Amino acid sequence: MSFADSLRVTPGTTPDLEAIDTCATPSFDGDKEAARERIKELRAELAEFQQRLWAESKQSLLIVLQALDAGGKDGLIRKVITAFNPQGTRVAGFGVPSDDELRHDFLWRVHANAPGRGRIAVFNRSHYEDVLVVRVHELVPESVWAERYDQINAFESHLAANGTRIVKFYLHISRDEQRDRLQKRIDNPDKNWKWASGDLETRARWDDYRAAYTDALARCSTAAAPWFVIPADQKWYRDLAVAEILAETMRDMDPQWPEADEDLSGIVIPD
């Protein structure tokens, strides 16, 4: 079974996050070193794919990353996403909305960062914050955020219909693993800058976030924009699984080198 088939949230189903082992390695029976060697191969494939995507300039790719605090989004970007040429790749983060963004609908700032044809966009947090953080911290009434699942599905369907392939990854870590990673931010001076006291408040709402993620995954995993739950306690498996799924996605997209605009036969570059 492929990584995508093993880790995809089947549309119309509700994943049991409590039952999904965050240390599991579905579709892979090798060790850490084998995984790292495979990631090198996949990075080369991803880089070659991006060149064809850029040259063809008919399709685009949107990668959505979501996780609880310390879930590993930045690490994944360093280990996998950097395979792409930054000239054709944009990483966008969605934090607290600005005053200007609050004057518009919640998807306004997101649509502005969607990838153009031939390009790749990575959302490090995304429009899903508006059914996660907003829900858990009661920033808007339930009557408002409850409508957003359908609005998100319509938005993603619109992007897909216009040539954007969407893959969404939830990096699934355990409560114990999160504690260890947060503690390292305190104990290691080189990581102190990552620490925010608000992380403790978020951690205290673990069950609320788990429920919010479950609903988002269940209601917004569609054929056009599937969610994948990535066991992420082991960073090497996290990186391998995402790289494999991206490679599977890109093989299916299969961008083609375009034909030359003119007849090149007989042209010789002079000395």
- CA–CA separation, 199 vs 32, rounded Å? 30
CB atoms within 10 A of CB 20: 15
Dihedrals phi, psi of 105, to nearest 5 degrees: -65, 160
Read off the pLDDT of each residue in 225-235 and give the average, rounded to a whole number. 98
Containing 170, the helix (H) or strand (E) segment is strand 164-172
Average pLDDT over the chain, rounded to whole?
96
What is the CA 252 to chain-centroid distance, rounded? 18
Using CA atoms, how far residue 23 sits from 2, 82, 206, 228, 231, in Å, is 18, 24, 18, 15, 6
Tokens found for residue 54: 């850029």
In tens, the pLDDT along 64-76 reads: 999 999 999 999 9
Which CATH number is associated with domain 3-253? 3.40.50.300
Q: What is the pLDDT of residue 264?
A: 78
* pLDDT top residue among 12 and 263: 12
DSSP annotation of 6 reads H
In tens, the pLDDT along 106-117 reads: 999 999 999 999
DSSP annotation of 249 reads H
Is 64 strand, coil or helix? Answer: strand
Q: What is the pLDDT of residue 196?
A: 82
- Is the per-residue pLDDT at 151 higher than 90? yes
- CA–CA separation, 88 vs 263, rounded Å? 28
In tens, the pLDDT along 57-100 reads: 999 999 999 999 999 999 999 999 999 999 999 999 998 999 99
* Amino acid in position 131: V
Q: What is the pLDDT of residue 118?
A: 98
* 101-139: burial string, b at 16+ Cβ within 10 Å, e else: eeeeebbebbeebbbeebbbbbbbbbbbbbbbbbbbeee
Q: What is the CA radius of gyration of the chain?
A: 20
- CA–CA separation, 21 vs 24, rounded Å? 5
> Where are the chain's structural domains?
3-253
